[in-house]
Amino acid sequence: MQTIHSRNAPGAIGSYTQAICTGNLLFCSGQTPVNPQSMKIEERSIAGQTTRAIKNLELVLLTAGLTLHDVVKTNIYLCDMENFQEMNAAYAKCFGVHKPARTTVAVKGLPLAALIEIECIAEFKNPPL
């Protein structure tokens, strides 16, 4: 196993790592819409928070040499399923024609009062040593 840490993505706010590589898979911890510079949530809309959370995941993926097109599965945690359609539109815009497998569930609350958290699993075509 190899730990992946991006200096550009938000630092962990708990006792976990941003991502773990094992075999040809990268398991990314959930990312909330925290701005990496301010470590605060600046976006108020679900669309803005979705885009920021995906951008944070992308920063971790890039550190590992991957892109959003290498993502095979995402898990999305929403505080309110009423936000599903707006989240889905922003998510689709970020991923474009690539459509990874996905699960979306409602949760009671998220850190820093985020509206969304997204985690993913990505695949290396050529696993790092």
Question: Tell me: the pLDDT tens digits for 105-119?
Answer: 999 999 999 999 999
Q: What is the mean pLDDT of residues 85-107?
A: 98
Query: How much is the pLDDT for 52?
Result: 98
Tell me how long the chain is.
Answer: 129
Instruction: Give the chain's domains with CATH numbers.
Output: 2-123 (3.30.1330.40)
The pTM score is 0.94
For 62-90, the pLDDT digits (tens) are 999 999 999 999 999 999 999 999 999 99
Q: Residue 129 above 60 pLDDT?
A: no
Query: How much is the pLDDT for 126?
Result: 75
Mean pLDDT score of the chain: 94
Q: How many CB atoms lie within 10 A of CB 17?
A: 14
What is the b/e burial string over 23-54, where b = at least 16 CB atoms within 10 angstroms of the residue's CB? Answer: eeebbbbbbbbbebeeeebebeebbbbbbbbb
Q: Residue 128 above 70 pLDDT?
A: no
**Alpha helix positions (H), 2-115:** 46-63, 84-95
